[in-house]
Amino acid sequence: MKLCDYCGKEISYFEQYCSDDCQAAANRFYERYEKFGKLFTAVNTVCVFGIPVGLFLMSFLKILGMSVASGSCVFLGLMLLFFPFPTEGMIKKFKISKAVKIVRIFGVAVMLLGLFIAGMLTFWM
Average pLDDT, the chain: 91
Q: What angle do CA 32, 82, 27 make, to 5 degrees?
A: 25
Percent of the chain with pLDDT over 90: 66
* Selected residue with higher pLDDT from 121 and 92: 92
Q: What is the pTM of this model?
A: 0.87
Question: DSSP 3-state helix, strand, coil percentages of the chain (rounded to 5)?
Answer: 75, 5, 20
Q: How far apart are CA 41 and CA 53, in angstroms?
A: 18
All structural domains of the chain with their residue ranges: 2-124
Residue 58: pLDDT band (50, 70, 90) is confident
